[in-house]
Structure 1
Amino acid sequence: MAHYMFVTWDGGGNRMPTIAVARALAERGHDVRVLGHDAQAAAFRAAGLRFTPYPSAPGFVLDPRPAGLLGLFTDRGLADDTVAQLAANPVDVVVVDCMLLSVLDVLDRMDQRFAILEHTLHDFLARGARALAVLVWPRGVRVSRPRSHAAPIVVASVPSLRVPFPAQPALSAAPGTVVYAGAMTPAVAAHPAQPTVVLSLSTFRFPGLVASWQRVLDAVDGLEAHVVATLGPALRAGEVRVPAGVEVHEWMPHEQVLPRASLVVGHGGHGTTLAALAHGVPVLALPLDATSDQPRIARAVTSAGVGETLPSRSGPHAIRATVERMLASSALHSRAERLGAAIRELDGPRRAADVLELSASARGRRDQ
């Protein structure tokens, strides 16, 4: 049995990958615990995982603006909390969310074996690390060194949105190794009983979110398809007008709604996009945040021919015309179905657990 600690933050799209990998390790008999924000406690404990909230960050509420995110990612309090947990309960491997730069930096300085868990496209993060290095340098946080020492970097994504995927090397936990694990959402090939459009925008209240939701809802008013809208926690009751006949939920697990979907309309978030594609469902992306990975993911979906992209300010008529065209395109659906089959073959949680077991074994050999 190996001992693991996952260090995470309340980020929405990173929750499912963290839970999926942590549970896969726990189900193999390993000792697994999670350190994160108190708002995450219920979700992780419901998944059967031991959870400890950061003592330094009670009542955390995410500020999605760039300054707020930078402050979070370089928060020395989270690093101090991690070190204190390790002093009380040493582990073989710490699995750290890719954005917690201060935690990665301190673990690298103290020679603790750690892995990085990425929850979006690896090339976006690799390029972004160079820009982040400049921004966080005045705060005394290093970026490049911890990434090159991570053993390994586990990417909860696929190497490409085109099939066949590039050949992957044998699993390795050597420092700096990048391992594409695959999607973390349980997925099956979608078989909708009728044309069904799933609407799912961000769980964060980005500027313009309410207006974007209203344009999307207006676009599907009277659409000859069943429409399911998962509004999420960022909207308050009554902020948008919902057309008659739209099935509305605050939240639904992907594995419940996507097997019956024909098309997903989203904001280009990695979690929802990859989950849809894993089910073989095409995606219409309307990115809400130009500084995030959303535009990059939207471009990748469009380039691979498994979806389309529109500006988030697109009007209802443009959105409606695109939705109707995508629903009618057999070629689009065939490409998405082929990609979905390839994603499902990776079996993301199993592959991530396999390489993290190698990481713990390597730590054990080093300490002998």
Structure 2
Amino acid sequence: MTGVASTSETTVTPRTYLFALTDGGGTVPPELGVARRLVDRGHRVTVLADESLADQVRNTGAMFVPCLWSPAEAFRDYELRTPTSLARGIADYMFTGPAPAQARDTTAALDAVRPDLLVTSSFALGAMIAAEAYGCPFDVLLPNSYPLPATGMPPFGSGLSPVHGPLGRLRDETMTALGARMIDRYALEKINAVRADYGLGPVAHMWDQIHHARRQLVLTSRAFDFPATLPHNARYVGPILDDPAWAAEEEWAAPAGDNPLVLVAMSSTFQNQADCLQRVVDALGSLPVRGLVTTGPTVPADALRAPANVTVVDSAPHREVMRHASLVVTHGGHGTVIKALAAGLPLVILHHGRDQADNAARVTARGAGVAVSRRAPAQRIARGVTTVLGTDDYRKAAEALGQAIRHDAAGTTLMDELETLIPAPGRTTPSGS
């Protein structure tokens, strides 16, 4: 491709981008949404990813290159009961286990594509190491609230809201330091071994590898996240509101009647959520509402018993359904939460793990919904639904937050950051290649 690519607003010089993505379930739609937007603006985009994402990548218009780093089995984090076991599991499965293969595959792709910029998932530390050794600048995509330690930000995964003053700072510093030590205990030595293989010096903490990025691109709205002092290279660039591939193309029909429509949308990946889904269905069955439950790709729709006022389907286009809904019941994944708020819809969140308690804290702190235990009985879930539907303040708060989210999603900050002039880097041959 030569010359320039035109858009209705600007003229951009085509550049070459390489993406190194991990299959993180709910992180895939926003990350591929970034790739699609670059393709639409006339750039050359290649995506290095697991074979399971091949069709989704090609549907963006990008070139797909298969990687060899994906594990054979899904991460069963819902079986890990202690902070220590969870830290070890996250380190082994997401960060250190794939890192050597990520570095090898990414180095080969860098040689073949010779991009102006590498864009990686936040878990792809091996790809970041390869880029750093190669002399190629890299950006990291963070498709949630800001997850790394930052002054003023409650510890990631804690589900806590900010507490101001000395006691709040002490709480955050203590919990953040403890979490960093646990991750470093299981990951730091292995990550530094990969760095050494590629001729790079050690990092003091595992998170420092992400801090070496040219940009940390936070794919959410600043209005959604809690205020904090972020690193100099972190940027809020607005959310990507694309539906996941499994939900985007399906036809759907609203259940009959005039009662409020409640959309139930749980995780794209398996989090042992079938029992929780059944209790949500039972709760809706006891209320004067119409329920539409999307089970996603990991729970078959026929596994649930549904009353007459609840329709259970494998999938439906969430953004379209939300135009007709009055409430969203969800596990609290960032993608579903941010799309519901963008549609002006309040939420009932039954968070399961990962970043979901943090998203629930942000929703409840703004008065845009309630959090209910994922183990709550159907009667308790029904009370949560009744409370939110019966109190207009929740809808007003969701709409107010949604206005800011829609503004950020429609903005140009993401493309401005990615299309910023990138100096041609020097090329080196890493010793680990």
Q: TM-score range by the shorter chain?
A: 0.7 to 0.9
Mark the CA change 1:226 to 1:124 in structure 2 (over 3 Å): closer, same or farther: farther
Distance 2:128 2:180 in 1: 16
Q: Deviations over 1:58-116 (max 9, x none)?
A: x8542232455432322111221111111111101010011222222332233320000
Q: By how many angstroms is 1:123 displaced? A: 4.2
Select the residue among 192, 198, 207 that pairs with 2:263. Answer: 198
Equivalent position SS for 2:345:
coil
Q: Deviations over 1:118-165 (max 9, x none)?
A: 011104566558353343113134533332221111111112338xx9
What aligned pairs does 1:60-99 form with structure 2 within 5 A after superposition? 60-65=72-77, 66=86, 69-70=90-91, 71-74=93-96, 75=98, 76-99=100-123
Corresponding residue for residue 22 of structure 1: 35
Aligned residues between the structures: 350
Equivalent position SS for 1:121:
coil
Corresponding residue for residue 59 of structure 2: 46
Equivalent position SS for 2:367:
coil
Q: Deviations over 1:237-285 (max 9, x none)?
A: 5322122232222122332222222111111111111111111111111
Equivalent position SS for 1:320:
helix
Distance 1:130 1:106 in 2: 23
Contact 1:64 1:204 in 2 (8 A): no
What percentage of aligned pairs have identical amino acids? 30
Q: Which has the larger radius of gyration?
A: 2
Distance 2:121 2:396 in 1: 34
Mark the CA change 1:354 to 1:78 in structure 2 (over 3 Å): closer, same or farther: same
Q: By how many angstroms is 1:56 displaced? A: 4.6
Q: By how many angstroms is 1:306 displaced? A: 0.7
Equivalent position SS for 1:102:
helix
Distance 2:132 2:411 in 1: 25
Distance 1:122 1:341 in 2: 20
Mark the CA change 1:349 to 1:87 in structure 2 (over 3 Å): closer, same or farther: farther
Contact 1:5 1:35 in 2 (8 A): yes
Amino acid of the residue matched to residue 122 of structure 2? Answer: C
Q: Does 1:177 align with 2:233?
A: yes
Corresponding residue for residue 330 of structure 2: 266
Select the residue among 132, 139, 151 that pairs with 1:115. Answer: 139
Corresponding residue for residue 25 of structure 2: 12
Distance 1:81 1:203 in 2: 26
Corresponding residue for residue 16 of structure 2: 3
Corresponding residue for residue 357 of structure 2: 295
Mark the CA change 1:123 to 1:348 in structure 2 (over 3 Å): closer, same or farther: farther
Q: Does 1:130 align with 2:180?
A: yes
TM-score normalised by L of structure 1: 0.87
Q: Does 1:157 align with 2:215?
A: no
Of 141-150 and 306-315, deviating more is: 141-150
The CA RMSD over aligned residues, in Å, is: 2.8
Mark the CA change 1:347 to 1:5 in structure 2 (over 3 Å): closer, same or farther: same
Contact 2:33 2:242 in 1 (8 A): no
Amino acid of the residue matched to residue 337 of structure 1? Answer: E
Contact 2:125 2:210 in 1 (8 A): no
Equivalent position SS for 2:323:
helix
Contact 1:153 1:176 in 2 (8 A): no
Select the residue among 392, 396, 408 that pairs with 1:330. Answer: 392
Equivalent position SS for 1:10:
coil
Q: Deviations over 1:27-62 (max 9, x none)?
A: 1111011111111112222232222221454x8542
Q: By how many angstroms is 1:294 displaced? A: 1.1
Distance 2:331 2:364 in 1: 13
Unaligned runs of 5+ in 1: 170-174
Mark the CA change 1:140 to 1:48 in structure 2 (over 3 Å): closer, same or farther: closer
Distance 1:64 1:263 in 2: 30
Select the residue among 313, 335, 354 that pairs with 2:375. Answer: 313
Corresponding residue for residue 172 of structure 1: none
Distance 1:216 1:257 in 2: 18
